[in-house]
Structure 1
Amino acid sequence: MEDCDRGFDLEARLGSLEERAQKRTLSPVDRVAERGYFADAAGGDLPVLDTDEALVFSSNNYLGLTDDQRVQDAARQAAATVGTGAGASRIITGDTMVHHDLERLLAETKGTERALAFSSGYAANVGTITALEPDVIFSDERNHASLIDGCRLADCETIVYDHCDPASLRDALESRAAVADSTNADAGTEDESWLIVTDTVFSVDGTVAPLSAICDLAEEFGAWVMVDEAHATGLYADGGGVVQAEGLEDRVHIQMGTLSKALASQGGYVAGSDALIESLLNEARSFAFSTGLAPTAAAAASEALHLARHSEAREQLWENVAHLRDGLETMGFSIPGESQILPVIVGDQRDALAFADGLRARGIVVPPIRPPAVPEGESRLRVAPIATHDRDDIITCLESFRTVGSELGLL
């Protein structure tokens, strides 16, 4: 037994990732904004920033509010008056007026009775799904990892339907109902709890879920609907998400979202009925057993949400999106989806890496998205403009895409 090794061969794992061109590294930046100075991966050493500034077209800071003076001032004020951290779980002593102010504004924006802020979007999804303990979950095949992990941890039957395909969802619902009824003819499926979960804006595909059709099916089969508005919150009607844009507040039971993207902060939230929030407060382990969201983050998100609702940032973002999409499609690139996320499909992951390197050499930061984040053969460059990019920034980005695409023979 002396020669037995029950440890982990991490070097072999890393070597395998390297061979598959799937090894990731960290690339620090001096600030989170539409442009910044980056450093190469330094391992455990202190990173050294480049001497040239780069344009960032890959951030989820969609409204460009991370360096907005008003958002920063809100965080500073919260730190000075409340403290830099919550200090405990919110059900112990980590609950503050700043949290409740944020939740009031979120509920108002999302058209719900209440909202509850979590320490992260991941915690919100996992905590909500496991607390609900559904019997059956119907999940879009390209849902975010936090939704997938929530389904796994809930330890229930999970049925995956084709991406953004109501017909596939209907087939899944009908098949599950038929199987249940045939094996339990006396009771049927009326006592089961069914939950349909979907992103609204899909983070690497740029697609938008057909929410109205999903709600129709949910009502027909008696299921609940839970949506992840992480990449939609703050960008649509009155600072809301796709649910608000389509007027579906009364038909979607659970609205989840994040504070870390358009709202320029950190954390996640769930919005819904008073009973839902009371249940999560008491039964969501990721809420009860985590230190509360930092008051500075809650205050920053509140101010960012106010600006999303009452400034011109949303309009500027969508103008930049339209300009970039038109330019890229005119060059001949395929840009699927209909959101602020513009996936430039390359196909081969090595082409995607070469393309990203070529753009980086020209001062444009657009990292590639490769398997396993996307299926084999669907590697892409995920282009995400920011509201604070000006017209010259957009033109520079487009010109760089044209140059690199031509050099690589992809145009």
Structure 2
Amino acid sequence: MVKLSLIQFAPEISNKSGNLKKIEEFCKKSQGDIILLPELATTGYAYPNTESLLPLADKLTQNQEIVKYFQDLASFRDSLIVVGLPEVSEQEGKVSLFNSVLAVDKNGIVEVYRKLHLFGREKKIFTPGSQKPPVFSFRTYKLSLLICFDWVFQELFRLLSLQGVQVVLHSANLVLPWCQRSMIARALTNGLFIATANRIGREREGLDELTFTGGTQVVSPQGELLGALNDDESILEVEFDPAQADKKTIGTNNDRIKDRREDIYKLEWVVKSSHDWEDLKKMAVKAKSNAYTPYSNFPVGAAVMDDRGFIYGGCNVENSSYGLTMCAERSAIFSMVEDKGRKIKKMVIASNSGVYPCGACLQVIAEFADEAEILILNNNGDEKRCRLSDLMPHRFSKLDLT
């Protein structure tokens, strides 16, 4: 079971410090394992142009003050906090402003998602995101992130369902009346839990006054409303079992996924794999920080991506009986197998000096990969890329048993 806290409130335009204080108060009252806040919760919504919002935007890297602020809040109840905020990024001298959500736990950044579908005047203020919504694990739950107007594009929900997502966390600043009703259909047809944290209040945008609709809610894979708010400042607390989203059947003879006619129609992500490597590196480095190495003081972290696009992390765990030590690579692979993954696509191994897998780990990798891309990473960020066939050209495999 997971406890989910959705915070509905009215951020004040340009009052970042006041909004953060109010967010902190709400988070400390919340009982959830996951705390979900609205879109642009730190700054408010209605800004006339990029320049007016830019001073309030944050870089979203681990050492930034805003990240540490939410990391400390997440530590209060060992929770995952998902919060909408403006993100500034500079690459090759170009400054971009994104409408983003930050997912953070007690260890720091878990994911950042940049809004793909900008609404109305947002197109004049923000740069649209260019990467697919992240799919990630928190404890045993598979989650993804969306922002406000993303709700219109039903392809996203089906693709996330195909990737095994159980819960979609949707941060919003809704001013139109349709989203909440539509989410019932999105949840039902895709077999997902969908949690929408909307804001309330009013803001002026030029000559127009925006009224935010509230209606924060959680919908089950059966299209049932598990909880909803009206238009007041409040916290919606909902508890449910995310594993219910794994059951895609309808009645006794139909399945929402297996009954698709892929001989006639098909959906797939267009975005290529560069973002996948960044996700893998981030997971491997994070896993390395959790390694248990009291005897060798040689921490290793690994991250593996299977052919479904799921990513699993693992670290080395040592034992006073040395032969019982578990390597990071095998730890990550066994997590994949436990989640029904059977084919390795890519792997990242992070260590202080950038070491290759041992023979035992190579043999286990070969069990679940005819071929796989492997990236070796050291503390300086130096990378070495190779393939399984480079490291194990004459391997023994299950083919030798036939």
Q: How does the TM-score come out when normalised to structure 1? A: 0.25
Q: How does the TM-score come out when normalised to structure 2? A: 0.25
Larger helix proportion, structure 1 or 2?
Answer: 1
Larger strand proportion, structure 1 or 2?
Answer: 2
Select the structure with the greater relative contact order (CA < 8 A; seq sep ≥ 6).
1
